[in-house]
Amino acid sequence: MSEIPARPHMDPRIDPARLPNHIAIIMDGNGRWAERHGLTRAEGHEAGARGVRLAIEGCREMGIRCLTLYAFSTENWRRSKTEVNVLFRLMSKYIRKEVAEIHKNNIRVRLLGEMDRLPVRAAADLRYCLDLTAGNTAMDVCVALNYGSRTEIARAARLLSEEVADGRLRPEQVDEAAIAARLYAPDHSEVDLLVRTSGELRLSNFLLWQLSYAEIVVTPTLWPDFDKQCLCDAIVEYQLRARRFGGRP
């Protein structure tokens, strides 16, 4: 943590000693934002891409160690081909525009999800960004892309069964730590704060394992309107909660 320069906090209500270590965001509401502004869904997603920059910047400035962003779920393939193409085109555009800045800020980008189904160009841009930033140490930005939590957990189970079948692992060694170690980002298997924008009260197949004891903040704000102040508000709310993890003093 020492390499992050101490910066003034944006919101005096935030206690810098009790920041969440890992924030995860379900970036929802681009479509509704577009509808409200009389724009196309594509324009809504474009506005949403700007919010990604603010979230990363805000977390980096505060010294948050890990930010996980839900960008595209395994279920989002059910959308129209046009919308899916727009989303991946925007992703490529975003990476090419932002990667230098991300790298300069010592941020490591990681992928939660499977590369296999991604359009070729999006996969190549993403691969470039992952490789370029792989050695960075100030903060991790995990992008959940073609991500499904059930797929992730099933994959962990498959890896474990292969290891047991090969004799590399005994069945009694399959415990919580063994499963956590086979998730996409084993070192971020615990989320402290989950934010969902645009008011839906559901997880939509996001980080089912990792959210076990996360504090959940749902805001009616639509993702394209989610700015640094909204991020601070969510952290303030997080800090007002009593996290008990099942225990009592």
151 binds ligand IPE per the rule CB under 6 A: no
- Say whether residue 94 binds ligand IPE (CB under 6 A): no
* DSSP per position, 42-94: HHHHHHHHHHHHHHHHHHHHHT-SEEEEEEEEGGGGGS-HHHHHHHHHHHHHH
Q: Give me the residues paired with residue 225 across strands.
A: none
Complex with ligand IPE: residue 179 or 216, whichever CB lies closer: 216
DSSP 213: T
Give CA–CA dist 87/44, Å, rounded: 10
- Residue from 40, 57, 76, 179 that binds ligand IPE (CB under 6 A)? 76
Judged by CB under 6 A, the chain residues 44 through 73 that form the site for ligand IPE are 70-73
Distance CA 181, CA 178 (A): 5
Beta bridge partners of 193: 23, 215
Rounded to a whole number of angstroms, the minimum distance from the CB of residue 32 to Mg ion is 8
Considering beta carbons, is residue 183 or 195 the nearer one to ligand IPE? 195
Residues 248 and 210: their CA atoms lie apart, in Å, by 22
> Smallest gap, in angstroms, from Cβ of residue 10 to ligand IPE?
25
Number of residues binding to ligand IPE, judged by CB under 6 A: 18
In the list 28, 125, 152, 215, the residue contacting Mg ion (rule: CB under 5 A) is 28
Choose the contact partner of 13 out of ligand IPE, Mg ion, none; CB within 5 to 8 A by kind.
none
Nearest approach in angstroms of CB 181 to ligand IPE is: 26
Decide if residue 31 touches ligand IPE (CB under 6 A): yes
Element spanning 193, H or E = strand 193-197
By the rule CB under 5 A, 206 interacts with Mg ion = no
Q: Which of 37, 96, 97, 202 binds ligand IPE (CB under 6 A)?
A: 202
Taking the C-alpha atoms of residue 117 and residue 167, their distance in angstroms, rounded to an integer, is 32
Which one of Mg ion, ligand IPE, none interacts with residue 76, CB within 5 to 8 A by kind?
A: ligand IPE
Kindly give the residue spans of alpha helices, DSSP state H, lying in the chain: 30-36, 41-62, 81-104, 120-133, 149-165, 176-180, 228-240
Q: Please report how close the Cβ of residue 45 comes to Mg ion at its closest, in angstroms.
A: 11
